[in-house]
Amino acid sequence: MNTALTSLICAMAASCVLCIALRNRRCIGTLMPVCSIVLMVLALNLCVPVLGGEVIDDGPFYMDPLSAVFMVLVAVVGCMASVYSRAYMGLENREGVVNHRELGQYYSLLIVFVSVMMLTFAARSMAIVWLGVGATTLVSTFLVGFYSREESTEAAWKYIILCSVGITIALAGYTLVYASTVGVIEHGALDWPVLMAHAQELDPTMMRMAMVLVIVGFGTKVGFVPMHTWLPDAHSQAPSPVSGLLSAVLLNCAMYGILRFHAVSEITVPGFSSTILMAFGLVSLAVAAFFIASSRDLKRMLAYSSIENMGLIALGFGIGTPVAVTGAVLQMVAHSVTKPVLFFSAGNIIQSYGTRDMSAIRGVGRVMPGTSWLLAAGTLAIVGAPPFAVFVGELTILSGMLGGGLVWLAAVTVVLLCVVFAGFARNVFPMLSGDPPSDVPIDGSFCRIAPIAVLMALSLSIGLFMPEQAMEWIGNAVGTFTGVVG
């Protein structure tokens, strides 16, 4: 068995057991971030050769460049969220919002959450992917409803009910996919390399209906409009480090489930699931853009921005030309490193000002210059201003649209992106200037700024000087897709 994979899985098991066992000790606040750094290093060690084109096919595990991209994102963002949690949750604990026991629960849930997401991407069988997506919902429900306030309970309730229904519908899709393989595939019918190899022979009618169910089912968790209603609530009520994780990597998990089946179905029935993806993508983009412009709550606005980005990514994958798919993968990477910057800096501001209402927050620039800079940079980055990573992603998707002859779609997308730009600018920049209220407490520890700065630097460096190597990796990930599709 592959040693890198074995060591990662052992480390996951060890960190989960360790964090759960020591959850009531004082050291948990240090232990858990350290564990997540170890996991990140091991995951990078595993993923770098895979990104280079090596495929691991080993018993129940299967990894190709596409799953490696997803896993690297979980590892990096998960690590930064854990380090940031130290500052965020530490303050909540000192202020008495969260007691010692709850702090322990938080950290042990967080490490389990990150581990489950990573494992999801290493699975060979789509059944395990389904189970992984389901399990992430169950674990993160407790993180969403972590504060036992009425609003958080409501958000967690909506989250688990809607996502459970979504998962059930996706399973109905699985049933049909499996039914279409009867008589075609003898063994391991839901293993995705096997599905890909036999995609040509599957029953097209079954596959069509299955794709509708899978996209609607997993799409509930991706946050496609109109199944998105849980998303702004869950993101705004969860503690900020968790909001960052939900937005940056949890949505990707469900997207991964859709993409694997999308690749199969594009061989069986070309053009069917890509049309559905494009439709959901465009609707999500449009609805989210207008909600961003009219938001008053800082974290809800960021949540709608996640819906918008997921819509854009779905559009890219839906168009399906190599350029557009490259753009979609780039956009996904860019969104995953940029969005936590915003959620974490929003967390700093919300903890100091004690409100999420953007019209009540003024003068961040004077009180917290570091956070203010990062928030401003993050805002510019997420709306797609050059030279940040999202700019590259959006530009590539747009050129994919134009290359595919979808001029009208490109025009509509540009208009909607302008609405997003205007919405963000109108809402965020007034917060940074002006006179702060006199009694804003400031907590400027290392863990509060460092993870945000690291992610911001990543976003900037991807946008400014994308290394040849990284471009080749993304090309490999796209290859697993278009190698057969395009």
Q: Which residues bind other proteins (CB under 8 A)?
A: 125, 127-128, 130-131, 134-135, 138, 141-142, 145, 148-151, 153-158, 160-161, 164-165, 167-169, 171-172, 174-176, 178-179, 182, 189-190, 203, 205-206, 208-209, 232-233, 236-237, 291, 294-295, 300
Which residue lies nearer to other proteins by CB, 178 or 429?
Answer: 178
Q: How far is the CB of 311 from other proteins (least distance, A)?
A: 18
Q: How far is the CB of 164 from other proteins (least distance, A)?
A: 5
Tokens of 386: 């050059």
Calculate the CA 368 to chain-centre distance: 27
Are 396 and 403 in contact by the 8 Å Cβ rule? The answer is: no
Which residue lies nearer to other proteins by CB, 117 or 397?
Answer: 117
For the chain, how many helices (H) and strands (E)? Answer: 20, 2
Cα gap 474→315, rounded to integer Å: 18
Which residue lies nearer to other proteins by CB, 168 or 469?
Answer: 168
Which residue lies nearer to other proteins by CB, 89 or 128?
Answer: 128
Q: How far is the CB of 87 from other proteins (least distance, A)?
A: 27
- Mutual angle of helices 251-268 and 322-353, in 10-degree steps: 160
Q: How far is the CB of 239 from other proteins (least distance, A)?
A: 16
Which residue lies nearer to other proteins by CB, 44 or 238?
Answer: 238
Which residue lies nearer to other proteins by CB, 295 or 348?
Answer: 295
Residue 122's identity, in one-letter code, is A
Q: How far is the CB of 265 from other proteins (least distance, A)?
A: 15
Are 459 and 389 in contact by the 8 Å Cβ rule? The answer is: yes
- Mutual angle of helices 100-121 and 3-21, in 10-degree steps: 160
Cα gap 6→4, rounded to integer Å: 5
Cα gap 244→303, rounded to integer Å: 9
Which residue lies nearer to other proteins by CB, 300 or 362?
Answer: 300
Are 401 and 393 in contact by the 8 Å Cβ rule? The answer is: no
Q: How far is the CB of 246 from other proteins (least distance, A)?
A: 15
Cα gap 313→259, rounded to integer Å: 11
Which residue lies nearer to other proteins by CB, 186 or 435?
Answer: 186
Q: How far is the CB of 168 from other proteins (least distance, A)?
A: 5
Which residue lies nearer to other proteins by CB, 128 or 389?
Answer: 128
Are 47 and 123 in contact by the 8 Å Cβ rule? The answer is: no
Q: How far is the CB of 292 from other proteins (least distance, A)?
A: 12
Q: What percent of the residues of the chain are helix, what percent strand, and what percent coil, each to the nearest 5? A: 80, 0, 20
Half-sphere exposure of 127 (CA within 13 A, CB side): 8
Q: How far is the CB of 258 from other proteins (least distance, A)?
A: 18
* Of 266, 293, 296, residue with least CA distance to 360: 296
Q: How far is the CB of 417 from other proteins (least distance, A)?
A: 22
Q: How far is the CB of 225 from other proteins (least distance, A)?
A: 14
Which residue lies nearer to other proteins by CB, 5 or 128?
Answer: 128
Which residue lies nearer to other proteins by CB, 294 or 433?
Answer: 294
- Mutual angle of helices 28-51 and 100-121, in 10-degree steps: 10
* Residues in Cβ contact with 137 at an 8 Å cutoff, skipping those fewer than 6 apart: 159, 160, 163, 164, 167, 221
* Residues in Cβ contact with 438 at an 8 Å cutoff, skipping those fewer than 6 apart: none
Are 76 and 40 in contact by the 8 Å Cβ rule? The answer is: yes
